[in-house]
Amino acid sequence: MTTYKGINGFAVQSVATDPSPLDEGQVWYNNATYAFKLAALTTAGTWASGGTMGTARYTLAGAGTQTAALGFGGYIGPATAVTESYNGTSWSPVSSLNTARRGLMGAGTQTSAVAGGGELFPSGANSNSTENWNGSSWTASGNLNTARRLLSGCGLQTAALGFGGYATATSAATELYNGSTWTTSPATLNTSRYNLAAAGSQTAALTFGGVIGPGPSTAVTESWNGTSWTSVNSLNTAREGLAGAGIQTAALAFGGGGAPNPTGATELWNGTSWTTNPNSLATARRVLAGAGTQAAAIGFGGSPLTGATEEFTGPGVAETKTVTVT
């Protein structure tokens, strides 16, 4: 008779605490709860509530990871410069931006981020102002070549990408940032739009959704190889004001929608196409911020005005299941 040891080369371990991290197919006996357990893969991504932001706002920007995020700028009535740091449990206020604005782009990490562009309030003027975050304060840096709002961006503080947005009209401009200077790329988006989302790096990015102005929300998705944009398969749900997380080959799109009809719809990108995740954001919203990876993302803020934070655990993540006999 074939045994578990015969198949795997080792016996089932008896432990008092469930192991971590888990490997798919791993089996063990928990001698504290007197139960056999195994590590199984989740079949769908799930959202769970995180700590609420101290300042509820929308059209803000974000950077970092699910357990080490940064949220900055946005709109609370006037535009705000408020910056908050997230430790995976709660948000804490830190030093504010030098220039209050909404509809700005963000990229980088919790300790090394960049903020660019946006709309000044109450003038309504577009900004080209860029600021670098060093983990404790913001410092003015080189300006965007095209002042605009509701643009998107991704990458690192020293290697960021900014694109799209609204200048005097809908923009397709793409700019690269080296930590101090923006350079305009001769390549532009194939579809000019604003209020779009992004994932990835300066040389391997993905952008999706937005508004083709003047016009409706779009599901258009484009891939960037460091030199040019290529149109790829569209989102299943056309929307603007959505958020993104992840990399070019494994991205997450969530939230968005045209005002006043926000959505919590969540989609996963596998490098070729989008798949609708059966579980949506608990709080449907638009013009929110996002950060992290496809497997571990975070969404925060948004409209209707909220400071709600939600954390996404992607499909294919191993979780503990108790073995039962019926």
**pLDDT on residue 7:** 47
Same domain, 29 and 157: no
Same domain, 271 and 127: yes
**Structural domain contains residue 165:** yes
Residue-wise pLDDT for 148-199, tens only, equals 999 999 999 999 999 999 999 999 999 999 999 999 999 999 999 999 999 9
Residue 321 near residue 40 (C-beta atoms within 8 A): yes
pLDDT tier at 319, thresholds 50, 70, 90: confident
Same domain, 277 and 307: yes
Q: What is the count of structural domains for the chain?
A: 2
Average pLDDT (104-133) is 97
Residue-wise pLDDT for 204-218, tens only, equals 999 999 999 888 899
Same domain, 13 and 152: no
Query: What mean pLDDT value characterizes the chain?
Result: 93
Q: What is the CATH number of the domain that holds 147?
A: 2.120.10.80
Quote the domain boundaries for residue 26: 4-41
Same domain, 20 and 107: no
Same domain, 168 and 212: yes
What DSSP string runs through 249-295? Answer: TEEEEE---STT--B--EEEE-SS-EEE-SPPPSS-BBS-EEEE-SS
| pTM for the structure as a whole | 0.86
Same domain, 27 and 148: no
DSSP secondary structure letter of residue 27: E
The answer to whether residue 37 scores a pLDDT higher than 90 is no
Residue-wise pLDDT for 68-115, tens only, equals 999 999 999 999 999 999 999 999 999 999 999 999 999 999 999 999
Same domain, 25 and 173: no
Same domain, 172 and 125: yes
